[in-house]
Chains A and B, each alone.
Chain A
Amino acid sequence: MALLRGSGKHNGIDYHFEGIVDGSGGSGVAHERELLAFADAAIDPSQMAAEQGAALAACAGREAMRDAAAVIAGFDAITRVADATGIPLEAPKAEASVEWRDRLGIDEFWRMKV
């Protein structure tokens, strides 16, 4: 989220995070609907993502679809690295994100750890 905020600042766009968290959209990112649907399908091992991938390729191109698949795959993995090793957020990142982590319900994830 912090890097999306940075990207928005650079481009003069105020991206909205709520729709990314709940999947409803409205973030302001190009091809958002196709990208979010593709991400949700690709990380679900119970389904293939062919239909969502084709929809994304149709509007953004095949290379965009492959690069999106790569980003999704990388983050499907690195989130597991972070969660399986107990690394904390760096203090400056934690401080900078305190408002929107609370607002978006991301801090709830800490409380789910058992």
Chain B
Amino acid sequence: MRQDLRDALSKTWPELGRAGVWWTGSQRVKMVREVRKARTCALCGARKVALSPHTLAGRHDTATDLPEAAIEAIHRIVTDPGRLSEAWYRRTIDSSLTDAAYVELVSVVAITTAVDTFDRGCGQSMRELPAARPGEPRRRRPVGAKPGLGWMPMLAPEDVTADDPPLYASAGRIGGNVHRALSLVPEAMMQFWDLFETMYLPQHAMRDFGQEYRAIDHAQIEMLAARVAVRNQCVY
């Protein structure tokens, strides 16, 4: 395995057990467990094949005591991401989650998905849960975050202040919409993107078609990306 990929996985996975910005380390590890439980949840399985997921009431098969809104968010993002809507998001966070806590939850779901899918692809069993570390969430919201782009406020590159982590500048990220998606929690955004760019390609390499950076070429990489996006019913 490439050393940079090995290093990124070794760094990112234990970080899930450390306190984040809005959740404790223990809660973040519970999210990892809940992501894995969602994949076999009977309610999610029934909803996935229903014409509308809202036509089926019931309770999720859970693995943790996370708040009900967090359970619902995790299970839907894991099992039926292509049919998520703003109306669902508003209902979900109105019940007890803040927008920023939701964004950090999305990042934990995404990182767990990335690591588990990679291990499955490599024929390895799921790695052990990260160890929960003590510590309190930092609870800092970027002052420049503004509503209007997605479902929650986001931090544009021009609104980053000296108090914010260098979420765009650190890796030459241009601030496209997909970069901004998790920007309400800059630390979560950087944690996800540092792993993602190691799995896919660094920013400068994405359109550098004259040079290959991986053991598969640009066309093979983009075909895989397209196939996974289609299977997950993702327009972006």
Residues on A lying within 8 angstroms of B by beta carbon are: 1, 3-4, 6-8, 10-11, 13, 15, 17, 20-21, 23, 27, 29-32, 35-36, 38-43, 45-46, 48-50, 53, 60-61, 63-90, 101, 106-107, 109-110, 112-114
- Comparing B14-22, B63-71, B228-236, the segment that makes contact with chain A is B228-236
B interface size (C-beta, 8 A): 78
Contact mask B217-232 → A, CB, 8 Å, 1/0? 1111111111111111
Contact indicator A13/B219 (Cβ below 8 Å): yes
CA–CA, A63 and B103, complex, Å: 34
Known: A68-B224, A80-B77. A75 touches B150 (CB 8 A): no
Q: Besides A60-B216, A67-B221, A82-B236, 7 other CB < 8 A contacts?
A: A7-B209, A29-B223, A35-B223, A35-B224, A63-B215, A112-B83, A114-B87
Contact indicator A42/B220 (Cβ below 8 Å): no
Instruction: Give chain A's interface secondary structure class.
Output: helix
Selected A-B contacts with CB under 8 Å, 7 pairs: A23-B227, A70-B200, A72-B118, A72-B121, A79-B234, A85-B182, A113-B85
Residues of A within 8 A of B214 (CB): 67, 71
Most chain A CB within 10 A, of B149, B223, B234, is at B223
Residues of B within 8 A of A106 (CB): 230, 235
Residues of B within 8 A of A113 (CB): 82-85
Does B111 lie at the interface of the complex (its beta carbon under 8 Å from any beta carbon of A)? yes
Name the residue of chain B whose CB is nearest to the CB of A22.
B230
Q: Which of B52, B120, B152, B226 meets A42, CB within 8 Å?
A: B120
Contact indicator A4/B236 (Cβ below 8 Å): no
Residues of B within 8 A of A50 (CB): 123
Q: Which of B53, B110, B226 meets A81, CB within 8 Å?
A: B110
Least CB distance, B158 to chain A, in whole angstroms: 16
Contact indicator A72/B219 (Cβ below 8 Å): no
CB contacts under 8 Å to A, within B84-131, are 84-89, 103, 106-107, 109-111, 113-118, 120-123
Known: A29-B219, A83-B232, A85-B150. A49 touches B121 (CB 8 A): yes
Contact indicator A43/B232 (Cβ below 8 Å): yes
Residues of B within 8 A of A45 (CB): 39, 116, 120
Q: Which of A29, A46, A65, A79 meets B81, CB within 8 Å?
A: A79
Contact indicator B121/A79 (Cβ below 8 Å): no
CA–CA, A74 and B194, complex, Å: 11
Contact indicator B224/A75 (Cβ below 8 Å): yes
Least CB distance, B29 to chain A, in whole angstroms: 18
Residues of A within 8 A of B57 (CB): none
CA–CA, A19 and B177, complex, Å: 28
Does B192 lie at the interface of the complex (its beta carbon under 8 Å from any beta carbon of A)? yes
Contact indicator A87/B5 (Cβ below 8 Å): no
Least CB distance, B51 to chain A, in whole angstroms: 9
Contact indicator A82/B181 (Cβ below 8 Å): yes
Q: Which of A68, A84, A112 meets B233, CB within 8 Å?
A: A112
Contact indicator A48/B123 (Cβ below 8 Å): yes
Q: Which of A77, A87, A112 meets B117, CB within 8 Å?
A: A77
Name the residue of chain B whose CB is nearest to the CB of A4.
B222
CA–CA, A114 and B82, complex, Å: 10
